[in-house]
Amino acid sequence: MPKLVAVTGATGFIGHALMSKLVKDGWKVRALTRTVRSDSESIRWIQGDLDNSIALHHLVDGVAYVIHCAGAVRGNSYNEFAQTNITGTQNLLSALSEQTQSLRFLLISSLAARQPELSWYAKSKYLAEQKVSESIGDRPWTIFRPTAVYGPGDKELKPLFQATRRGILPVVGKTDNRFGLIHVDDLIAAIQLWLVSDSPINGTYELDDGTPGGYSYQSLAALAERVWERPVRCITIPSSLIRGISILNLWLSRQFHYSPMLTPGKVNELQHCDWVCNNTPLTHALPAWQPSIRLQESLPQVI
């Protein structure tokens, strides 16, 4: 009989892909949801959110594994990020502290946590990681820090990739800044191996697709040219313009009560010079894991 795994963020981009793989692999899953959903043979939905202690108790009661994917990626204040990413993580850990069974905990964080000074989001993810290491006690814990994740269902990188098909690549920052990418299926493969590992995997691990030195806007444009068989030109957006737009967007979001993606903090992240991962610690911890999907192969399917 497969053991029971609890998942938060199951309806998001990464969580949805993870749920599909877990069900396919025969796992029994208990998943948190804000809306009413029908259970299936493999999935039991727990209605609630990360502020609902009763729902969190029901979510983790008797499980062998907890995968915490939920997180806020948009917000118009630090408190909006902190409530979900920090307080929500602490609430989940508090529910786990009431359990007596042995279990393993995995937090899906972000490479942004490596530079918490850049944005509200990055700071909130970093502090969520600190909650895990400080509050989980003697239970095994793992943190995955993927770089930018793309794949079917992604709404953040897809517009950028679509632009390359039209022959342009918008650039925020310098064209030679380096960044990593990872297909969602490669991230899910790492989670699957974490689940079946004979011994607990402790610590914090970065993940990208293993491209040596990562990508630059220049190399990404060259890759897109080969895929689309047409010229792709890098168009640098002036820093003053993109920052002005982000400030305006933040102000409008507070007037009209929406959660923006483009904020001054997000501009800081986009202009940072190095978002390349080091996969070596993870491949030592999970020797069977190697990223296998390259952007040039998957770009047509992604868009």
At 10-43, the pLDDT tens digits run 999 999 999 999 999 999 999 999 999 999 999 9
Closest CA to 109 of 78, 130, 140, 83: 130
d(CA 175, CA 165): 18
Burial state string for 35-58 with b = 16 or more CB within 10 A and e = fewer than 16? eeeeeeeebbbbebebebeebbbb
Domain 4-149+182-209+276-292 class, CATH top level: alpha beta
Better pLDDT: 101 or 18: 18
> 3-class DSSP state for residue 275?
strand
Q: What are the boundaries of each domain within the chain?
A: 4-149+182-209+276-292
Is a pLDDT exceeding 70 seen at residue 190? Answer: yes
69-250-255 Cα angle (round to 5): 110
Burial state string for 176-185 with b = 16 or more CB within 10 A and e = fewer than 16? ebbbbbbbbb
Whether this model's pTM surpasses 0.75: yes
pLDDT of the residue at 2: 57
d(CA 161, CA 163): 5
pLDDT of the residue at 303: 80
Query: What percentage of residues in the chain have a pLDDT greater than 70?
Result: 99
pLDDT of the residue at 1: 43
275-276-277 Cα angle (round to 5): 120
